[in-house]
Structure 1
């Protein structure tokens, strides 16, 4: 084929009056042209690969980890097929391994993730990529939580501290040290490093979320905890480190912003559909929205979340009071009784309270005085066994009140 093109070129030169180039100059020129075409093709391929990486990262951020994995695999396939590819000189390969590794972490494929992060460290073409990869390796060790893995994590963190420092690298090792000391139950050191991490990166959602937990649990500072959680939620509502239930509880209690509470809980339940406390609070929120005649709030939705909380074994005594009363309003008496019976199984610490609720249900709603009397006698036995006299039991019941109620019910039976 080359011979045909050479002959055609010589004929064109002859008819156009050009001097024929010698064969060596012709060959050299053709090789230069071909090299130029190859470079152009490689650049197009590289831009295409970067587009696939960006698309995969977008899918990962949207929590579509399976789709992201397929897209990352496609980018890797294109990288490997690239002719004349030099792995050590390619920043794109470093970035690809880093982002693939992060996606593997979300998929629970720790071994694959570790291989990707180690590859980034071996390539060593980007200081930032290497620092990020080392940090990811440290997180994997911290997540394991054993004494040996914590030791390995500390060794990686110390290497990060020895690297050429920039704001991002410093933020990484402070964040990691915060988590390390938290696992070591050194709350003061953990707080110091998490506060530094947030100072260096005010948009670091993970640091904000965990710092909120430290303020809430260790420092007993609910105001600061709420501030940190709110900032984290505003930046990344779907972050798994964020306590959506606690944030929503603070909002409904202190701001009484029902719509915002609903939004926070809705996202929290998408992340964890089995979160019993979030189901309960969502039911409360929706019931109050329904009372305000908010459009789009249906009784079926309120019942669903209450029922899920019961099914998941919620131990909050108020669940059984609110749900049973809600069902009584709907005249669904059998279900209301079933809810109270479930409460006796799930919330054993509040047996007297729920028995008292059931006694009231029998007496007031069903006019079943004999069943109400039996519950009162049961309550009196429990209070006597606990040696409680002349004081409230579980917030509403005392021995004297129950004795008077027994006398009243005996007259009705």
Structure 2
């Protein structure tokens, strides 16, 4: 008996280029046959090719796709597991099809866990977008063959009622009358490195104000990650990051960050993330007093709500200690927060979040006359729609306050974008 999920999903198979590196001619021929949806002949060619290259991860992935479309989810499931264990260059596609096979076999608990891992580890992938679209539409979209790279573009505009973060918490009227319009943009590129578990990310971000250019921010970031899977329900991602920040046209800070993220899927609804990290921060003159190093850890618990009105709840926390070359610029901080997202109805979804951060500065600041202590809160709502798998529309509002024993650093800020 074939469940309705299989009847709803019809996908175009991967093209021949995904296995162009294979030396075996049968693997190359099987990939071409698969791209033409000739599943039976593709299966035969891929079986012959894998008999000579049994550790070809992409070959196992393509064989699994052929067998899935031939109506053999059990044997296809074994191929997708082999592809994952051998580090296929298309891990998101392997997880997507593995979840489909598990669902076709009636193992819905495992399917939910597999899809949850896909959403977590490859949230920006085409396959994750397909899952999101499939959950909110009565039909499945036609899907292009996956690429080895991904590209994300984001542009927004909005209004910030206190971009200068002027001291204003003591004012009965609320935020200071220094509001300004802004525009922001972000671009991100992900490039896997061949068939290895390594991948490169490049990100650029900019935020420009109409009348306060001194508060413009620009960032460039590069990441090198290795995605390792010691078990099917666990992922370890060591990473190295370089980040450079400009304040308007002035070079301000370079960060070097090393981290290890451990993601554990405990069951079909519960997952955890733990990410210890170390950061080196360097600054040009006249900002060298902020040079220093930090160590910290991020922790997150995620509960997937299934078919109820709440799709996801994520409590999160952070602890960090920063030692600066100028003692009073160092700090120790603790942060706790909560994020919750509703199910999408007719494409629309709502996300709410809130956080509290306490930061204690390391030494007495003679300029302020105190050992600075900050209590920062932030709350927000985000309404989004995904009309098609490759486009998401957002509208959000964020409220932020910082209560400090140093009057200069007290402010409130509301942002609408």
Structure with the largest fraction of helix: 1
- Greater relative contact order: 1 or 2 (C-alpha under 8 angstroms, separation 6 or more)? 2
Name the structure where strand makes up a greater proportion of residues: 2
Tell me, yes or no, whether TM beats 0.5.
Answer: no
Larger radius of gyration: 1
Instruction: Give the alignment's TM-score, normalised by structure 1.
Output: 0.29
